Chain A
């Protein structure tokens, strides 16, 4: 039986005339079970494999092997489809022209899918928006699905469509399915693929060596299959006359949700969070309230997780005005930690963008700040990735020098991992 719980970390004390309340709300899911097995509805999985000309050779062979591994890992009973993507999108399996574009996994469909995958050839261009739109159409052909997930593999830039076309495709897919995206090699664009993953509530990462593909694919499918809660919504209630400053997921990755809300009622916004397995996610909520008299306590936010119409857990964010600076001056360690981690993500992305644009001064300042923040917040993964891009003279003060001979894969790995956060120590 699935069980959600919540914990709130904040300093509820505000000084006289204080208005802004910050809190970290940790939501935890236990007993999620397997996707499609909770009795709450069926789920679908679509594997999208780049079959463009650039995949020729080792890559397409490893991608085929990875797709076969995926087919092996998808649980029986799960609806699935395999899409091959070039400058067009092809439904590789099931081989149908109309009607339902997905089938249930069973021994015979598994065998047939593998044989379809074996016939993949690398040829043609890249139009990722087309691939996404086909996935959307396939999911729509099985309206009963409550959980819809894709894994997208690509190795190149989106050459055969305009950014506007890709953006439009992404927009049409928002809320329709989730997408975990992986880039093979170093010829794809982190920004492009991250845009897709963020919009479609998924992750992004680099696979520098195509030989790792099958193993990584197996992990991704298993993770998707372990998300027994198909779709949950974060809800934030604020008092009348209050204002949401921002709503951010801050763990396991930083994702700004502020502008992705839809009204549930006049005081409550709902934000998509996608599927949940047994896991914890942390959210940073900031609310502005009209200041009240000293001594007054009030609620600043109710932070809830809802599945369907049912609210499964609620955390209360409070505000209390006090004249005691000993109470009001403390910043919650959790809030401080994630504020630093959010700034870290931004500093890495801005630093790398400046470096790519040839603005070495800005790049040095931003990446120096990133090194400093990574050290302060104990983000060892970020620290080690940063060290491959900059030489660190002094981590405490953020004094760094840009490396001249940076491995492109290291730079991309730093970029894709920029939004990953660590939990507070202790």
Chain B
């Protein structure tokens, strides 16, 4: 599923420096030309709400008509917007799925990665708020905008790691601002119920992972040989209770647990993300997801358990796409009550 680098081909002396020749001690990162990402069969917006993702009916095996319904049993096929995968490189992949209960998929996913493992990747997950208008369009626009900005805007700092880190952290904030503008552009100005969405983004740059979130989409770090870590802090009523000493289990079981306190949108009040960075100093997985996954495995150890099951059942795999699919299938097996999105990057190898 890896994508070759079309801009690098034939560019002669402009070939980027391979990552293994980077001066890691100085924290110099690659600043060469950016790669294109595949545009098919990813959804682009309103039209894809009804375009079927597959021409085979998942209920009866009949042929799905371009109108989105089976020609035999009439079952509604999942649309391109309801379910899609992204696999920009062998080491980065994600799945965005409507789940089993929601009629639409308001989650969104956008990824980009260098073909060369571990050098550079961006994963963005957004979760549109179901009760707001056109939030499926808004969340997709936001995820794309954030990815495009992170992927194309190479920091041209002095190449020192501290400067680099500060610049990248600043760019993540800018990406969230850009995503917010994308949501607003996708919203009718007079909407009584303007679209809103969460955002979680992770940028892998060599041995460092930068992350930022707004709302309750999350970033986890799952090292192979050490304890898993939940990196992000939700902006939700549940998190507010946890901060006051209530146990995670109790807080997240409450009716209002999923009420978010920060979001992207016309009516956003605070765009300051939960953000940070950490060293990818050992082999492991960066996992970015929506609450459709962590609803069934919130704590880092619980998520770790679900991940290990996915990695080993029915047969062992270390393909990020296979793992993302299995995690989505697992969430759907738990009830699939919400849209589910999982993005994974294999790091630190």
Residues of A at the B interface (CB closer than 8 Å) are: 237-242, 267, 289, 295, 297-300, 302, 314, 316, 320
Contact = CB atoms under 8 A, between A and B. Distances in A.
A298 B67 contact: no
Contacts of B75: 298-299
B167 to A, nearest CB: 47
Interface in B62-79: 65, 67, 69-76
A383 to B, nearest CB: 40
Nearest to A301: B74
B72 A298 contact: no
B16 interface: no
A314 B67 contact: yes
B76 A297 contact: yes
28 contacts: A238-B74, A239-B70, A239-B72, A239-B74, A240-B60, A240-B73, A241-B73, A242-B74, A267-B71, A289-B74, A295-B100, A295-B101, A295-B103, A297-B103, A298-B73, A298-B74, A298-B75, A299-B69, A299-B70, A299-B74, A299-B76, A300-B74, A302-B65, A302-B67, A302-B69, A314-B67, A316-B67, A316-B69
B154 to A, nearest CB: 45
Interface residues of B, number: 14
Contacts of A314: 67
Contacts of A238: 74
B47 to A, nearest CB: 16
A238 B100 CA distance: 25
A267 B60 CA distance: 15
A289 B76 CA distance: 15
Nearest to A289: B74
Given A267-B71, A298-B73, 16 more contacts: A237-B71, A239-B70, A239-B73, A240-B60, A240-B72, A240-B73, A241-B73, A242-B74, A289-B74, A295-B101, A297-B76, A298-B76, A299-B67, A299-B69, A302-B69, A316-B69
**DSSP class of B's interface residues: helix, strand, loop or mixed?**
loop
Interface of B: 60, 65, 67, 69-76, 100-101, 103
A323 to B, nearest CB: 12
A267 B72 contact: yes
Nearest to A290: B73
A238 B73 CA distance: 8
Contacts of B76: 297-299
A237 B65 CA distance: 12
Contacts of A289: 74
Nearest to B69: A299
A299 B75 CA distance: 6
Nearest to A298: B74
Nearest to A295: B101
Contacts of B73: 239-241, 298
A314 B69 CA distance: 13
A135 B72 CA distance: 42
Contacts of B69: 298-299, 302, 316
A297 B103 CA distance: 8
A239 B103 CA distance: 20
B77 to A, nearest CB: 10
B23 to A, nearest CB: 56
Nearest to A287: B74
B137 to A, nearest CB: 20
Contacts of A267: 71-72
A300 B69 CA distance: 10
A239 B72 CA distance: 6
A299 B68 CA distance: 9
Nearest to B60: A240
A297 B67 CA distance: 14
Nearest to A241: B73
A239 to B, nearest CB: 3
A237 B60 CA distance: 17
A288 B161 CA distance: 68
Nearest to B65: A302
Contacts of A295: 100-101, 103
A403 to B, nearest CB: 51
